[in-house]
Amino acid sequence: MKFSTFLKPIVLACTLASSMVHAAEEVNIYTTREPGLLQPLLDQFTKDTGVKVNTVFVKDGLAERVANEGNRSPADVLMVVDIGRLTELSEKGLAQPIKSAVLEDVIPSQYRDPNGEWFALSLRDRILYVAKDLDLDHFTYEELADPKWKGKVCIRSGQHPYNTSLISAFIAHNGEAKTEEWLKGIKANLARKAAGGDREVARDILAGICDIGIANSYYVGRMRNEKEGSEQRQWGDAIKVIRPVFASAKDGGTHANVSGAVVAKYAPHKENAVKLLEYLVSDKAQAMYAKINYEYPVRKGTELDPIVASFGEFKADALPMSEVPKNRQKASELVDKVGFDN
């Protein structure tokens, strides 16, 4: 037997093994996050680790899609916005527990599942947009129902996840009866129907339709970084920001929601899935969350975007994040009961 003939099977086996290892250096993500916000982080992950990221952007029905795919699902990581949608993935059995010293060390316990099934990667606080010339420098969520603001409040649909999350937290602090009265008071104060998006709150303040409104802080960063003179830049420049607190909470804090992820139950590339989550809480990735997305990093000490930093110190509500989804169904029912969106 020629030596070269003897080597051929070995060379072929090594080539196949190398090909399989290379093929395994990938990770598949299903996400509801906006592509423009997430893609820079994923591109940097690939550049730094060599792991290819295959991304499926799913606008609606992510949990249903993964459930229908069952153990044939190619998804490794499921990434969503809103604590309710994040915990839903765990509750529906679509996630698997992960033990990671990196994630446990970086992410405060308030923002991760005790069983290791879900992890928050960034925070977004629900703040008050205020007309720039209005003499107001502090506020509580409870004050939204004060009759002195009659005809002066703008807000998006009460059924939007950002608002049902806030209402859920309000229930946790105040109970259902007081929350119902609070929602009735806000509805009575609305300057227009509860609709549109958060940026439209700033738009309508500029137009003089309302004086105040509830929205997420990161939209201010986006609007103020638009081209000088553009429509959205004008909206962002027309408002100032105040962080409301729960007057009824012992420590008083601002409601925060999250973006986060789970490792899918049947993840074919589990190791790379964990590697991605750990990368997303690294110094570099958390800085990108802050500078590109104008969000609050979960990693302590990460420098904020200057616009976001100008809002002052962010003290989050101390209510454990896992408590919020427990009241989500009741929050949605109360929105309908008081006709908030009608």
Annotated domain spans of the chain = 3-123+256-304, 125-255+314-337
**Coil, strand or helix at 93:** coil
Is there a contact between 155 and 213 (Cβ–Cβ < 8 Å)? yes
Nearest 5°: the CA angle 274, 40, 56 is 65
Sign of the alpha-carbon torsion through 64, 116, 125, 255:
positive
Q: Which two tokens stand for residue 326?
A: 């427990």
Q: With beta carbons less than 8 A apart as the criterion, state whether 150 and 332 touch.
A: no
Q: Which fold, 3-123+256-304?
A: D-Maltodextrin-Binding Protein; domain 2 (3.40.190)
pLDDT at 35: 79
Torsion on CA atoms 253, 295, 57, 264, rounded to nearest 10: -60
pLDDT for 15 equals 36
Maximum Cα–Cα distance across the chain:
96
Spatial CA neighbour of 234 closest among 243, 223, 219, 249? 223
pLDDT value of position 24: 56
What secondary structure does DSSP assign to 191-203, as a single string?
Answer: SS-S-S-HHHHHH
Tracing tokens 């958390």 back to the chain, one arrives at: 286
Instruction: Check the annotation: does 111 bind a ligand.
Output: no
| pTM score | 0.86
CATH numeric code, 125-255+314-337:
3.40.190.10
Kindly give the parts of the chain with pLDDT less than 50: 1-23
Judge contact between 118 and 95, C-beta under 8 A: yes
pLDDT (tens digit, 9 = 90+) per residue, 169-228? Answer: 999 999 999 999 999 999 999 999 999 999 999 999 999 999 999 999 999 999 999 999
- Tokens standing for residue 112: 């991760």
pLDDT score, position 59: 86
What distance in Å separates the CA atoms of residue 222 and residue 250, rounded to the nearest whole number?
Answer: 33
Distant-in-sequence contacts of 286-291, Cβ < 8 A, 24+ apart: 286/122, 288/40, 288/41, 288/44, 289/41, 289/121, 289/122
